[in-house]
Amino acid sequence: MRRFALTLVPQRAGPALWQSARATRVRGRRLLVQETWYRHLAIADRLIVEARRRLADQKTHIADLEERGEDTRAATALLSLLEETLRLMQSHRVTILQKLAGLTQPEPRPGAPADGF
């Protein structure tokens, strides 16, 4: 079981210490969210690799069916679905990368103008 230490900052410590404690909590949550997105990225990458392998297998299967003179309509329809699924997976991966890019931007300093100057 994990135990988390709770750090209490006395109110009389002043606003700078309160802001520092809050910033530490925010960074901790931000890192947790970032780790979660990296796990999602790893899963997406693995699924994309598997989808590409299945696409190659399906194309081989269709070629075998054609070689034997068998009907390829169902296999071709499945190939189309696999290709669309791969496109959706790749789109989802781009979304994950965009989320990660937003999380890796430097945090604005408290009291700093929005434009960074």
Summarised one tens digit per residue, pLDDT across range 65-108 is: 999 999 999 999 999 999 999 999 999 999 999 999 988 766 55
Prediction pTM value: 0.66
Per the structure block, which two tokens stand in for 13?
Answer: 């410590």
Counting residues of the chain whose pLDDT is more than 70, the rounded percentage is: 67
Whether 13 has a pLDDT exceeding 50, the answer reads: yes
Mean pLDDT value across residues 8-34: 65
- CA gap 41, 37 in Å, rounded: 6
pLDDT over threshold 70, residue 1:
no
CA 74, distance to chain mean position in Å, is 33
